[in-house]
Amino acid sequence: MVHQLLSSTENTIVHDHIALRTFDDQKVQIDALMMPLVSSGYTCKAKYTFPKTHISAQHYEHPDGSLPKVFISHLECHHFSEKFQATIETLLTQIPQNLIGQWDFFLTARPWKISFDSYETLKNENAYAAWVAAFGFRPTHFAVQTNLLEQYSELTTLNSFLKTHGFELNNTGGEIQGSPEVFLEQSSLKAAKTLVEFSDGMYPITGTYYEFAKRYSMPNGTLFNGFIPESASNLFQNTNSQAFTLDRSDAS
């Protein structure tokens, strides 16, 4: 996989951030899930909204800058049909209460059973929700920070290297999201399909992916540590099992 490929040419690989997803339901809201990480020193640094897709997000940083930032988003479920909300509810009620608040919550297996039919019901209304229903709360992606890479700190060079080795890049909105002018550039590999267990069989679903982030210094000399909403909007779509067109005005 890509981590092995990079390790073969680079000494140090630093993770820039991990990306997590949840719903705005009280049981699994961002604050509840982030509690163990907040206890260990992470603090919320910024909030982002994506009104057209009913998603909001927050990013957290740890005082130890070598630890990855956490970008966590949630879907506002009340914008969707009653059937949709009821389906989400049947998933959330299956989560053992003692699981919430554990430090390894985001590493645990999907804490519910779901039929492929219910997955399709969700997918018809919202791809983000369907992804969480299929995979649970695992990170949607890990992002490597390219600043410290010796050979591949430039995303254009890194992208060519990856393509030469058979990796496919996500090109929704272009292979590189953002620019030095907004102090952040991002590229991501196309999310690959993986077999997911449903209560009525195994089905291939678009899964997780790897991302690369290059950060730039702001005029005050410090490295930009935030996220760019327009880039994030395009990157969200990487996990869609069906492509859809983004209304660019969502990125404001």
Which residues here bind Ni ion, judged by CB under 5 A? Answer: 19, 143, 211
The DSSP letter of residue 114 is -
Q: Decide if 65 contacts 83 (C-beta within 8 A).
A: no
Give 87 or 238: the residue with its C-beta nearer to Ni ion.
Answer: 238
Report, in Å, the least distance between residue 112 CB and Ni ion: 25
Report, in Å, the least distance between residue 96 CB and Ni ion: 29
Report, in Å, the least distance between residue 93 CB and Ni ion: 30
Rg, C-alpha atoms of the chain: 18
Residue owning tokens 């790897």: 210
Give 116 or 210: the residue with its C-beta nearer to Ni ion.
Answer: 210
Give 126 or 208: the residue with its C-beta nearer to Ni ion.
Answer: 208
C-alpha distance from residue 141 to each of 207, 212, 221 (Å): 9, 10, 28
**Residue 71 tokens, joined:** 């970008």
Report, in Å, the least distance between residue 134 CB and Ni ion: 19
Report, in Å, the least distance between residue 55 CB and Ni ion: 14
Give 91 or 144: the residue with its C-beta nearer to Ni ion.
Answer: 144
The burial of 123, by beta-carbon neighbours within 10 Å (0-12 exposed, 13-18 middle, 19 or more buried), is given as buried
Give 87 or 146: the residue with its C-beta nearer to Ni ion.
Answer: 146
C-alpha atoms less than 13 angstroms from C-alpha of 224 in its C-beta half-sphere: 18
